[in-house]
Each structure stands twice: as structure tokens, then as C-alpha cells.
Structure 1
Amino acid sequence: MGAHSKNTVRAVPLADTAPLPQADAPPRPEAPQAGAPPRPEAAGRDRYFDTLRALALIRVVAYHAFGWAWAGMVFPSMGIMFGLAGTLMAKSLERPAPQVVRSRLRRLLPPFWFWGLFVVTAMLVHGWMPGWQIVYWIVPLGDPPGNQWGAQAWEILWYLRTYLWFVLLSPLLLKVFRLAPVPVLLLSLFPILVLTFVRSGPDNRLGSALWDLSTYLFCWILGFAHRDGVLQRMRPAAVVVLSLAAIGYGGWYAFSHQAEFGTYDLDEIPLAQAFWSAGFVMLLMWAKARFRIDFAGLTIFRRLDRTVTVFNARAVTIYLWHEIALILAVPLIDQFWKVPAFERYLPLESQWFLFGIGWVLIAVFVLLCGWVEDVAGKKEPRLVP
């Protein structure tokens, strides 16, 4: 499965997170649409979700810099991000579905095209001869092709492909979910079990897409459950027991199959990733609904709050450019060795130093390229949001 390589990280949802316009409302709650359960309404941005998204981005960069196999167990960033994106998608689908899908595509594709222009050009210069599959660099419904020279840059595109398919399928998935919320939520783990134990699917772009969609389907639908208030109505004991059971099974499967996969890294073991993320994200979503966590107090810490804002407004840019930043950090640090003072006083051999230089370069890319996200969102371009 090409989408689950060692250096591939599950990271950042690219959801349209702008709050929906609110109409003047009467004092009492507005009745839900027919067939849909009551949903908790929230005005403005949710700093709890924003903070989780920022932490997920940091974890993604750290994983690529250090290669920590345990990182996914401490913070399964991609499961969290698909859960957040599912919640936001359910909220947006209160508007007409075609309008929502167009909005998501408009926000996703221009930053991807801008980034891809540089990556594709660089690969062509280094001898890449593309075939008809280059169309996936226009709309990434399948994994875009490339040569080995640019593999570290383009291998992260599995996420864009998976997110795009979830966006296209969400109008149907949400309707099915609302017919029987809890059964559909539980059955969303069934596809990954089939792929693991019954039939693994084709070894091509379709197979890779099926694996990734099946791995994170529960988390995406869990976002629906949070938005519709399903988690809030569930018994706390049932949520905790089911969540811990899923985490336990995912952890057991990862460690008991180390010989088969060569690691316990969840990114290498789809079934373990699916169950560990399912339990972890369910606890996070349920805790928010149960205890009404919003991190509103974050605004007291202005610099931290500002950092979270920038991370969310530039999530696509950070995700797309972070691998290139880490790649460029290596030859840049090589130049530092030529300066005696740097060689003596800087920890040039440390991976932490590379991690720090990587973030400096990511900040440069945010300044140089982040404006594309503003244009895609029909906003005034700004260096720093």
C-alpha cells in the first residue's frame, strides 16, 4: 500500500472552517430539519477545534523530522483531523450540497496547484517523463504520479486525495448516517476489517484510496455524530468502554504484528490506526460535547492565541510545504558547517536543530505562499492572517 509508507504522515484537514452566516433567531432554539437530530449551535470559531488542528500540524512536522514510531499513539493527528473535518462538513451541509462541495474544492485546489507547479517543474527538470496520469495533478482523485527525486515532497498527497473523496461522498454519507446514527457509526469500522481479513483490494490507485478511506471513515462519521449531538446523548459509561476497547484492540494489533509490518507505527498498520484513532477521537469529541470544552480562555494568552489563528488560517500551506522545508533544511545546515562560529556553538548534528530550521523555513513559505489560501477563500491576500 503506497499510501502507508514509513515517511508518510497523516496530517491536516483542509476544511472550510469559516463560521456560517447566522440569521436573526428567536429566543428559543430553532427546530431541526425533518429527519435530522437536534444539533448544538455554536457562534464563531471553536478554539478547542482550532487548538487540536494546530497541535496536529506540529505533530505532523515532528513525525517527519524525527520519525518517532510512537507519535501516532500519543496523538493520532490524522484521525483527529478527519474527525474535525467531518464535523465542519456536517455543519456546512446545512446549506445546499453542491454549493458546499464547490466551496471545498475552491479552497483546496488553488493552493495545491500553486504548490504542484513548483514540484512538477522540479521533477521535469530532473528527468521525469509523465504519462496521462498527470491529470491527477489537476484533480487528485488518485495519487498524483512523480519520480523518485520528488517522492518525499509528493508522497504526502494521499491526504488531499482522501479528503477530496470524503467531501464528495459526504452528502450521501450524512443522509445514511441520519437514518440510523449509532449503527452506521459502528458499521463504519466494517470496511477496514474486510480489507484486512477478507480481501485487501487491488494494488493500484483504487486500492490505496480504499485503504485510506476505510481507515478514517469512522473518524469522519464521528464528526457527523458530534455535530448532530449523538455523542452527547450517549451514556458516558458506554462511550468510555467502547473507546478504551477500540484503543486497546488497536494497540494490541499494532504490537502483536510488529514482525509482519516491521514496526508498531500506526501509520504502517491501517487496522491498528483505524481502531486506535476511533477510540482516541471518540473520547476527545465526547468530552467536548459532555463538558462543553471550548478553550475560550485561550484568548487571554495573546501570542498563543495568535499562533493558533495563524496555524488554522494557513493549514493547507503548512501541510503542503513542510516536507520541502525539512528537505531544504539539510543543505542549509551543511552550509553552517563552513562557518567556524556556527560549527563550534550550534548543535548542527542535532535533529532538534533541523526541526527548528525546518520551522523557520515553514514560516518563510507561509509568508511567500500563504496568500494563495486567502485568494482561494475569496479573501483579501495577506502575508500574515
Structure 2
Amino acid sequence: MSWEQEGYQQQPYEQAGYPQPYQQPYPRPDHPQEGYLQGYGQGYGYPGYAQQSYPPEYAEYGQGQGTAQVTAPLPVVEPEPEPGSVTPAPPGAAEAEEEKPPPRPPGRDRYFDTLRAIALIRVVTYHTFGWAWAGMVFPSMGIMFGLAGTLMAKSLERPAPKVLKSRLRRLLPPFWFWGFFVVLAMLIHGWIPNWEIVYWIVPLGDPPGNAWGEQAWEILWYLRTYLWFVLLSPLLLRVFRLAPVPVLLLSLAPILVFHFAWEPPDNRLGSALTDLATFLFCWILGFAHRDGVLQRLKPFAVVVLSLAAIGYGGWYAFTHQAETGSYDLDDIPLAQAFWSAGYVTLLMYAKAYFKVDFAGLTRFRRLDRLVTIFNSRAVTIYLWHEIALILAVPLIDRFWNVPAFEKYLPLESQWFMFGIGWLLIAVFVLLCGWVEDVAGKKKPTLLPGGRTATR
């Protein structure tokens, strides 16, 4: 079980005296042989990047509205060589070419990339250790819904039917591939399905199953909620644009109504309504980021309201532990809604107003590629991470039969299981990640920029 430039309101480039921006590699002063991309231009984003495919909500990226434009100088036009002549390469050209970093897609937003990667790491960490405070340190689900809302708003600049079809195409094949193994395992272990098995085809409701596979499929609430947000986005975006700030603030009203006035039924419909209400603000906050609404707000007002929301969510979680036995936000929807609302607002506002971009991450090749892998395989990591943690337990049990392992390895430590879990996640990424490429109509690869995956 991630992850384009926002609409500008400025004078045309020709009137401002600037040439139309474009992507062009520039030599770095400290490393003449290396290049990096500047001049993001109006087409800033991920579209067209052929080296990797992204899961449905991660297919396009955006910078905050008002990002400064970098104007590139006109390229030097070299005279064409005479027919039949061969232009000798300058000394050291071959070595310099080998030392150049691999080409990167133009306009990569490493801030959003990094947030999504950290969110996935936090999800795996929480499901390993069960720390109640993990959601307060980093509310992963709220962040992922906020980023997905931004990308959805950008996508809906195209006709809505095409966008919905594209999103379903990117989401469902990885889900079907994963679900085939889960359903098969439950059938082998005695599960007898009924008509509700249709939710394993389109997860508009929680798919059914037995207790044997519950740990694997209980994470599907996120895919179900994401799917409903995608289907509702054309209407939500239209309503939001009628009165952006009031609609954004009122998006917290449903969770208040469900908590204090009317409790949804304890069934699939009730679960779906509760999750939609819990993260509705974060999704619409993505719209506000995309449309430049956040950038126009005053910093003082944003910070005060965000801290107030965080304070209320935290206060409610700690003062109502008797109801759930913990202050875990995952068990308290009202606290989750307000804590995530304030936390994600601060992160998105930093992007929109202060132009935080983490562009320097590209200087660290290994870390940068790791972030890229997390984003291009986010659906695979999310779906398979629970199975990886499940398999880690019997695998570690086998280690006890090896005297050297028993003596030197911390087999009883949860941290050891955490490490084994990530090794198994890496195996699943290699074996199953190509499905995301196929769903995105890309050439299947084992890893972004790696060898072509075999089917």
C-alpha cells in the first residue's frame, strides 16, 4: 500500500520581454561535465516521462502557483559539417559523457516526491510497531490524499470522462493482480464467497474475506476512499471553484455532523462515508493548492488556523482515550480529520507560498533514485507491504533452526522483522512492480531506468 505547474496569472512571456521557457541542460559551475535542468516552463511536470510509470494519483506533478520562471539563453548554433566529414570529439569527451548523471524528467517536484516516500515508510513502520504516536508525527494518509487532490485538479483540465477512465486504468490492474493471490489464498483456507465478491473487481466497498487474510485486505479502505474521491472530483472541483475558501473550511463539516449529530451505519456504506468525511478537507486542500488559493492567503491566518486544527485534534484524541483505549488517530476519525487538516495545510502552504522544492535532492544520486522508486512503485509498496510483514514472521522462525543465526542475529527484535519486511517488499517491487507500468501503458521495467521486466 504515490506520490505540472499550477495555473499562472501573469503577463505573457513575449510581453514581459522573455523568450518562451523551455527545458535545457546547463553546465554546473562546480562540475562542468554534469548537467541539470532549468527553465521549467509552462509544461512543467511529469507527462511524457518514458523511463517510469506512476500509480494513478502520481502520474503528474505540480509546483505551487507563482513559481519563478528561469529564462534560458538562446542556444549557440554550430555550423553544420560538410558532407562526408567527421567532426572529431574534443579530448576527454568520452570520459565526461560516462560521468554524466542519467537524464532526469524535466520539472520533477522532489518536495512532493519526498513527502510521498516518507508517507509510505511511515505506513510500513506503523504496521510493524503499532506506535500510536506515529500518525501524529506524520499523518501519512492525510498527506497522500492532499497530494492526490492536487494531481486530480490538474488532470481535470482535460475532459472528465477521459480522466476517470485513466485513473481507473491505472488503479485497477495492480489491485486485480494483488487480489488474485489474496483471494486464491483465502479460498484455499476455507473462504466461501458470495455476491459480494464483486467488490474484488471494483472496490467501491470493502472487499469481503475471511479472518485468515484480514491483515492483508484490511488496508484496502485507502483504495476504496481514493476511488470514491476520484469519481466525485468533477463535482467537488466545480463546487470548490464557486467559493474556494468557504468550501475548503466547510469541508470539515461532514465529520462534525457524523460525530455529533448523526452516526453513519456500521456497514460498508457507513465506513465509506466516515472515511470520505475524515479526509475530505485534505482532498479539497489539494484543489486549493492547484488553483493557487493557498498562495493568496495570509501566512498569519494560515498558521494560526492550522495550529488551532492540530490543537483541537490532539486535544480530542488525548481526552477521549476511554472510547478507543488509545490516542491513535486511526481509531478516532474526528481527531484524525482535524490533525491531518492542520498538518497537511502547513506542508502545502510551505510549498505554495515559500516555494519549498527540495531540488537539491538530485545531487544525492542514490537517495534521489530511492525516492523515485518509491513514487513510481507506490501502489505496489502499499498493497504488498502487509503480505511482506506477514511472511517475515515464518521466515524469521526458520532462522531459529540455524545455530549461527540464533546466536548472532536479534531474531526477537521487531526492528529485525522491520528490516526483513523491507527486504521482502523490495522483492515484491521487483516481481510485481511492472504491473503498474502496464496499467500506465508504459514499457514494463524492474525498476525506473532498470532492465525491462519479463512477463
Distance 1:40 1:168 in 2: 29
What's the counterpart of residue 5 of structure 1? none
- Report the AA paired with residue 141 of structure 2: M
What's the counterpart of residue 64 of structure 1? 127
Aligned length: 360
Distance 1:291 1:197 in 2: 37
Choose from 269, 286, 291 the match for 2:354.
Answer: 291
Deviations 1:336-360 (A, max 9, x none): 0101110010000000000000000
What's the counterpart of residue 453 of structure 2? none
What's the counterpart of residue 86 of structure 1? 149
- Report the AA paired with residue 196 of structure 1: H
Choose from 97, 113, 126 the match for 2:160.
Answer: 97
Cα deviation for residue 45 of structure 1 reads: 2.5
Displacement over 6 Å in runs of 4+: none
Distance 1:210 1:40 in 2: 35
Distance 1:198 1:306 in 2: 48
Q: Quick check: which one's helix share is greater?
A: 1
Contact kept in structure 2, 1:56 and 1:78, CA below 8 Å: yes
Matched, 1:219 2:282: yes
Matched, 1:119 2:143: no
Contact kept in structure 2, 1:185 and 1:222, CA below 8 Å: yes
Q: Which has the larger radius of gyration?
A: 2
Superposition RMSD in Å? 1.7
Matched, 1:234 2:279: no
Distance 2:65 2:176 in 1: 36
The residue correspondences of 1:306-317 to structure 2 (distance < 5 A) are 306-317=369-380
> Is the alpha carbon distance of 1:123 and 1:154 closer, same or farther for their aligned partners in structure 2, counting shifts above 3 Å?
same
- Report the AA paired with residue 118 of structure 2: L
- Report the AA paired with residue 144 of structure 2: M
- Report the AA paired with residue 329 of structure 2: L
Choose from 122, 127, 131 the match for 2:194.
Answer: 131
Distance 1:199 1:354 in 2: 42
Which ranges in structure 2 are unaligned for 5 or more consecutive residues?
7-11, 17-40, 43-63, 70-105, 449-455
- Report the AA paired with residue 357 of structure 1: I
What's the counterpart of residue 240 of structure 2? 177
What's the counterpart of residue 143 of structure 1? 206
Deviations 1:42-84 (A, max 9, x none): 9633110000000000000000000000000000000000000
Distance 1:92 1:187 in 2: 24
Residue 357 of structure 2: SS of its match in structure 1?
A: coil
Matched, 1:155 2:218: yes
Contact kept in structure 1, 2:393 and 2:417, CA below 8 Å: yes
Contact kept in structure 2, 1:113 and 1:138, CA below 8 Å: yes
Cα deviation for residue 290 of structure 1 reads: 1.2
Matched, 1:165 2:228: yes
What's the counterpart of residue 79 of structure 2? none
What's the counterpart of residue 74 of structure 1? 137
The residue correspondences of 1:1-385 to structure 2 (distance < 5 A) are 14=2, 26-27=13-14, 39-40=65-66, 44-385=107-448
Distance 1:111 1:355 in 2: 24
Cα deviation for residue 229 of structure 1 reads: 0.7
- Report the AA paired with residue 365 of structure 1: F
Distance 2:395 2:323 in 1: 38
Cα deviation for residue 293 of structure 1 reads: 0.8
Distance 1:339 1:140 in 2: 43
Deviations 1:241-278 (A, max 9, x none): 00000000000000000011110000000000000000
